């Protein structure tokens, strides 16, 4: 009895507030926009009985929005540019994050807890504020341009804010801890006598790094890349604050379809397709995690 209660409460909560809402999104994505309340058609009409109403409703569903989305360049470009931005910024985050994780894992033991805290601290700090901090730095009259101009490195202010470059910087900056932590965890677990063994067997320091350290950090790198790539793909705050009107990202498109154009069916379709794209990396990520767990158990 108690067990049933324990299962039922979170289960019903998630059914009602996670699964049902998503079913509604799916249902609206098959509808058409209308000047009504709610602003889409068809709606469920149960005047002739619930089942007749549902049958009638389903018969009016169509894939018009999906055809519209695949036909329109704007959406194609938005999806592709989201994928590109997410992939490239994941790569840049890896470039920045790996040396930090490596440095932390090779730091003196008594320093590691402090370094760890310094990596986690920004994670607890407001995401919005961390993105906002870059507006002041990257603007045409921002601190970065002031610095470069005063050093005489440039003659005229650079335009960084409201370009894709600013979006890359924003993503690398905010998601850095997600990359550093799993790599650090993998490197810290590594037995250092492995490196001594490699050197003992004739490796140079550099080749020991490439032949021993990097393969052993691989699992951490993969986990870190997924942890950055997946949320970056649907990112909204960073492109809308730093990217300007030229940066197309699908999260921003969805937001605008819903809030500015009030086109619920198209916004829902955008959401469904975004989710379909995300399912592939999510499944790969889950598989990777499961494989790691099995390796640990073995």
Residues 121-160 that bind other proteins (CB under 8 A): 121-122, 124-130, 132-137, 139, 141-143, 146
Q: Is residue 186 part of the contact set for other proteins (CB under 8 A)?
A: no
Rule CB under 8 A: choose which of 69, 104, 238, 248 binds other proteins. Answer: 104
Q: Name the residue nearer to other proteins (CB basis): 96 or 197.
A: 96
CB 172 within 8 A of CB 228: no
Q: Which helix (H) or strand (E) holds 41?
A: strand 40-41
Give the interface segment with other proteins, choosing from 22-30, 57-65, 196-204, 213-221 (CB under 8 A).
22-30
Q: How far is the CB of 211 from other proteins (least distance, A)?
A: 18
Give the interface segment with other proteins, choosing from 58-66, 69-77, 96-104, 213-221 (CB under 8 A).
96-104
Q: Is residue 51 part of the contact set for other proteins (CB under 8 A)?
A: no
CB 77 within 8 A of CB 204: no
Q: Name the residue nearer to other proteins (CB basis): 158 or 237.
A: 237
Separation CA 18–CA 275 (nearest Å): 14
DSSP 120: H
Q: Is residue 258 part of the contact set for other proteins (CB under 8 A)?
A: yes
State CA 219 to chain mean position distance: 19
Q: Is residue 20 part of the contact set for other proteins (CB under 8 A)?
A: yes
- Look at residues 33, 88, 39 and name the one whose alpha carbon lies nearest to residue 62: 33
Q: Using N-to-C axis directions, what is the helix angle for 127-138 and 143-151, rounded to 10°?
A: 30
CA distances from 278 to 11, 55, 57, 271, 292 (A): 24, 31, 29, 10, 21
Q: Is residue 290 part of the contact set for other proteins (CB under 8 A)?
A: no
Q: Is residue 284 part of the contact set for other proteins (CB under 8 A)?
A: no
Q: Is residue 100 part of the contact set for other proteins (CB under 8 A)?
A: yes
Strand partners, 40: 33
Q: Is residue 205 part of the contact set for other proteins (CB under 8 A)?
A: no
Q: Is residue 45 part of the contact set for other proteins (CB under 8 A)?
A: no
Q: How far is the CB of 166 from other proteins (least distance, A)?
A: 12
Q: For 227, how many CA atoms within 13 A lie in the half-sphere containing its CB?
A: 20
Q: Is residue 61 part of the contact set for other proteins (CB under 8 A)?
A: no
Q: Using N-to-C axis directions, what is the helix angle for 73-105 and 109-124, rounded to 10°?
A: 150
Query: In the numeric block, which tokens belong to residue 131?
Result: 């993105």
Q: Is residue 115 part of the contact set for other proteins (CB under 8 A)?
A: yes
Q: Is residue 265 part of the contact set for other proteins (CB under 8 A)?
A: no
Q: Is residue 195 part of the contact set for other proteins (CB under 8 A)?
A: no
């Amino acid at each position: 009895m108690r067990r049933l209660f324990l299962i039922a409460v979170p289960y019903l909560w998630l059914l009602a507030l996670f699964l049902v809402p998503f079913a509604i999104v799916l249902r609206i994505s098959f509808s058409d926009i209308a000047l009504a309340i709610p602003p889409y058609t068809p709606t469920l009409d149960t005047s002739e009985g619930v089942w007749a109403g549902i049958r009638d409703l389903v018969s009016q569903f169509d894939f018009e929005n999906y055809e519209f989305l695949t036909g329109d360049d704007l959406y194609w470009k938005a999806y592709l540019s989201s994928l590109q931005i997410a992939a490239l910024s994941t790569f840049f985050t890896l470039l920045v994050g790996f040396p930090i994780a490596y440095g932390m894992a090779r730091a003196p033991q008594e320093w590691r807890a402090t370094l760890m805290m310094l990596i986690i601290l920004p994670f607890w700090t407001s995401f919005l504020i961390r993105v906002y901090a870059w507006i002041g730095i990257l603007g045409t009259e921002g601190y970065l341009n002031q610095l470069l101009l005063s050093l005489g490195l440039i003659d005229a202010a650079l335009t960084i804010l409201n370009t894709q470059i600013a979006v890359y910087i924003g993503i690398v900056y905010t998601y850095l801890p997600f990359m550093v932590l799993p790599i650090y965890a993998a490197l810290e677990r590594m037995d250092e006598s492995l490196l001594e063994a490699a050197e003992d067997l004739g490796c140079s320091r550099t080749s020991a790094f490439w032949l021993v350290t990097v393969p052993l950090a691989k699992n951490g790198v993969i986990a870190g890349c997924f942890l950055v790539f997946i949320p970056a793909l649907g990112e909204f705050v960073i492109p809308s604050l730093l990217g300007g009107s030229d940066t197309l990202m699908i999260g921003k498109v969805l937001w605008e379809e819903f809030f500015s154009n009030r086109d619920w069916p198209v916004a829902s379709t955008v959401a469904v397709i975004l989710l379909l794209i995300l399912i592939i990396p999510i499944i790969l990520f889950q598989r990777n995690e499961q494989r790691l767990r099995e390796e640990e158990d073995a």
